[in-house]
Amino acid sequence: MTITVENPIKLELTRHFAAPPERVFQAWLEKSWGDWVGPHGVKGEVTVLEPRVGGHYEIIMHVPDGSTLTVGGVYKEIIPPSRIVMSWKWSREDTDTTITLTFKPAGGGTDLTLRHEGFAAAERRDSHNNGWTGSLDKLEAYLRAS
């Protein structure tokens, strides 16, 4: 007998950016990722960045209270300028989750869809919703300024 258990707890956000897909795509593969990743008030610091399939990344999140959180993962798929798939694992957690980013030309800019899946609990998904919403807000400002 084969039993397949699928974890249905996922988060999906879509945001339009007034920048071409190539530029939005590239922002996820540059050290400047640290300038905009994380919820409002958090400053990211990219300490490892190997933007190739099988390559690793690591980001230290500097929280306003002075604490830090570290997240990292492995790039599983990179298809310029349309798709990035990567694992996402907080140093204090046991399991990886998966992020799939798709970039589609739309209205003279880009529609970015971020799907984050594999959460162990709805509470973890909900906390990531806050983080990703803040990150996409900050990415929009970053793209406007660059």
Domain ranges across the chain: 10-145
Per-residue pLDDT tens over the stretch 48-65: 999 999 999 999 999 999
Neighbour-count burial of 62, counting CB atoms closer than 10 A to its CB (0-12 exposed, 13-18 middle, 19+ buried): middle
User: Is the pLDDT reported for residue 14 higher than 90?
Assistant: yes
Task: Identify the three-state secondary structure at position 96.
Answer: coil
> Mean pLDDT of all residues in the chain?
94
Long-range contacts of 37-40 (CB under 8 A, 24+ apart): 37/61, 37/135, 37/138, 38/131, 38/134, 38/135, 38/138, 39/130, 39/131, 39/133, 39/134, 39/135, 40/134, 40/137, 40/138
State pLDDT tens for residues 62-87.
999 999 999 999 999 999 999 999 99
Q: Residue 6: pLDDT above 70? A: no
Q: What is the pLDDT, as a whole number, of residue 3? A: 47
Segment 20-43 mean pLDDT? 97
User: What pTM did the predictor assign?
Assistant: 0.94
CATH number of the domain located at residue range(s) 10-145 in this protein: 3.30.530.20
Neighbours of 99 (CB within 10 A): 21
Range 107-125 average pLDDT: 95
The dihedral through the CA atoms of 53, 128, 41, 109 has a sign that is: positive
